Amino acid sequence: MVETTGGGPEDGAAEVLDRPLPDGVRRRVVQIAADGFGGLTVTELPAPLRQYARFTPSRRAKFAGNAMAAALESDPLFRQRIGERLREAQPELAGALDSGSPPPAADPLDVAAAAYVLRPAGWVKLVTAAGEEAQRADAERADEENRAELERLRAELARAREHTRSETERLRTELEAAKKEADSLHRKLRSALSDVKRGEAALRKLRSEMEAVRAEGHAQVSAAESESRRLKARLGETEAALEAARRAAREGRSVEDMRVRLLLDTVLDAAQGLRRELALPPVSVRPAETVDAVEPGRMTPKDIAARALSEDDPAVLDQLLALPQAHLVVDGYNVTKTGYPQMPLEKQRLRLLGQLAQLAAQTGAEVTCVFDGAELAAPVLLAPPRGVRVLFSKPGVTADELIRQLVRAEPPGRPVIVASTDREVADGVARAGARPVASAVLLKRLS
């Protein structure tokens, strides 16, 4: 209940507000106190508010709002000082309130807050009216907000319904597609299962066929092993018979060699007597020197392949070299590749020529060593040893052909021995009247 008395501000001070300040009015009152706070000294401030003296108005309104509202309500002197600052700041509003006719265009909340601070006559009515106006405004604003929210919710509901319809249609379409895809997958699965069954049947058939083939293979392997053992036994018998035949041939050849040597000795003695009677000079030019070849120092040798012949007794070579005017022709690389193929070609030549020099000194026979010199790119720096003639074949001519030329150059009846394991060389020189000897025989003799 509001009690009022007529008169000026003193009468207004006696009025009492029997209800709490509306929130809007209270916020404006706190802001008026915060703005007028700075114009007061520390001693003019109530004791509870002195700690906020250095705060800015906004910070005072934030942190000291409750304290300032309580001080305005309970401390008339503080309220009077804030009212004086308000009159200085808003003289027109203060004068209108004192005259009892607040400006119609002013904000009701500002009018109510100023009336609460200044306490003119009828201020309680102004505050109450402002509170009711604020409540009506709040109610209207709430109604507007509610209506807007309702419209928003209706629109959202309509959008949700539309989205639900579209989503339902989409899901229905996807469901139909999924059903069709499921039917297609079921058909593919049934086809795949039938294919698997056919594959399993084919696999079982292949396994049975593989077992049959494996059994047949085992039988064939057993038969082949039996045949192999039988052939090995026959091979052993054949090798034994061959060895016996070789041994018999060697024994027979020894007898023939002895007969030939006896004949040769007879011919030699006759030839020596004829030479003494005719006073024939020693032969200064040898037939081997008439064969066209490349001497060492011009070309480098080229390796040739060795084709092996059976080995023989090296004593036969000594017997052949002991014949008068014997000429030993050596297939150089054929011999070195047979004896020491791991050495470099240069060392092979030097080793063979050194051994041939010793053989020539021991037997007194003429020795010619032939190397394959086809397609040589650089000269061969080689000094032939004493008693050994060293020849390289010319480009385009093999060492085998050069050896055959040397044999054909010799007169019929002269003992010519060719050391080579090349079957073509051996057969060719044998037809020309020379005696072929395997390279292994020469190597044994040289060692």
Give the pLDDT score at 303: 33
> Band of the pLDDT at 441, cuts 50, 70, 90?
very high
Q: Is residue 36 part of a domain?
A: yes
Between 268 and 156, the higher pLDDT residue: 156
pLDDT tens-place string over residues 5-35: 334 444 555 566 666 777 777 788 888 877 7
Give the pLDDT score at 94: 77
pLDDT tens-place string over residues 224-278: 888 888 888 888 888 887 887 777 766 666 656 666 666 677 677 667 767 676 6
Give the pLDDT score at 19: 65
Give the pLDDT score at 10: 47
Give the pLDDT score at 1: 35
Domain-ending residue, one of 70, 104, 121: 121
Between 309 and 201, the higher pLDDT residue: 201
What does the alpha-carbon distance between residue 204 and residue 267 come to, in Å, rounded to a whole number? 89
Q: Is residue 173 part of a domain?
A: no
Between 433 and 244, the higher pLDDT residue: 433
Q: Is residue 244 part of a domain?
A: no
Domain-ending residue, one of 121, 139, 156: 121
| The length of the chain, given as a count of residues | 447
Q: What is the pTM of this model?
A: 0.36
pLDDT tens-place string over residues 63-87: 777 887 777 777 888 888 888 887 8
Percentage of the chain exceeding pLDDT 90: 28
Give the pLDDT score at 379: 63
Q: Is residue 403 part of a domain?
A: yes
Q: Is residue 73 part of a domain?
A: yes
Q: Is residue 151 part of a domain?
A: no
pLDDT at 210 over 80: yes
- The pLDDT of 201-230, averaged and rounded, is 89
Give the pLDDT score at 168: 92
Domain-ending residue, one of 56, 88, 121: 121
Give the pLDDT score at 367: 95
Give the pLDDT score at 102: 73
pLDDT tens-place string over residues 327-358: 999 999 999 999 999 999 889 999 999 999 99
Q: To the nearest whole number, what is the mean pLDDT of the chain?
A: 79
> Residue 347 maps to which CATH number?
3.40.50
pLDDT tens-place string over residues 374-432: 645 566 667 788 889 999 988 888 899 999 999 998 888 889 999 998 888 899 899 98
pLDDT tens-place string over residues 42-65: 777 887 877 877 788 788 777 777
Range of the structural domain that residue 63 is part of = 9-121
Give the pLDDT score at 292: 63
Q: Is residue 272 part of a domain?
A: no
Domain count, the chain: 2
Q: Is residue 235 part of a domain?
A: no
